[in-house]
Amino acid sequence: MRSIRSRLPAVGAAALTVVLALGLAACSDDPLADQYRAGDNKGYIAGDRSVVEIAADRRGEPVEFAATTETGAPVSSEDYVGGVLVVNFWYAGCGPCRAEAGDLEEAYTSFDGEDVAFLGINTIDSAAAATAFAETYGVTYPSVIASETPAVKLAFAEKTPIQATPTTLVLDAQGRVAARIIGQLPDTSILKTLIRDTLAESAPESGS
């Protein structure tokens, strides 16, 4: 795993914590657990905006899933094999999810014509609520409705920690988790760099 701080525009230490080791031991001080126990009814558990980039030889097994989007269209992991897939866990009542919606959409449209797809996973809302959110915030990529297919959340949780809402994952061409952002996106350029790095892995070498 490599640090991306030196390769990205400065965003400030408070906005970005780059995790340098995969599988860190659990700490006695757990801010996510503390938020849950606080019972302040804010409606979400916020992440610390940490970014984990996982080296290709340290990634786990591919994530396999099948579910239905807010429009009723079937979607599965097989649809994205061979390209990069960005997965964002969210729900409508989550403040950070609303705050980052425009950034995710901007990142999505910036890769138009490339082998990059975006997929939301709405963790608790109905299809109607997810559709209303997309219309309000201008989100044009689809979202899976986990309340209708609960197994889709488990499929991801079995392969990588989903400790906060929102969480954004970047999956490689094999469907393995290549990067993880815990909490609201610290900066759109960071996500774009993670996508480009992952996309470049499957690009043909020049002269081949």
The 10s digit of each residue's pLDDT in 87-143 is: 999 999 999 999 999 999 999 999 999 999 999 999 999 999 999 999 999 999 999
CATH number of the domain that residue 176 is part of: 3.40.30.10
Inside any domain, residue 150: yes
Inside any domain, residue 18: no
The 10s digit of each residue's pLDDT in 46-81 is: 446 789 999 999 999 999 999 999 999 999 999 999
The 10s digit of each residue's pLDDT in 149-182 is: 999 999 999 999 888 999 999 999 999 999 999 9
**H/E element, 177:** strand 177-182
Counting the structural domains of the chain, the total is: 1
Q: By the 8 A CB rule, do 168 and 94 touch?
A: no
Strand stretches in 4-83, DSSP E:
17-18, 50-53, 66-68, 74-76
First-to-last alpha carbon distance for the chain, in angstroms, is 27
Q: What is the pLDDT of residue 3?
A: 42
Domain of 165, in residue numbers? 49-201
Inside any domain, residue 93: yes
The 10s digit of each residue's pLDDT in 15-37 is: 333 333 333 323 323 343 343 33
Strand partners, 84: 116
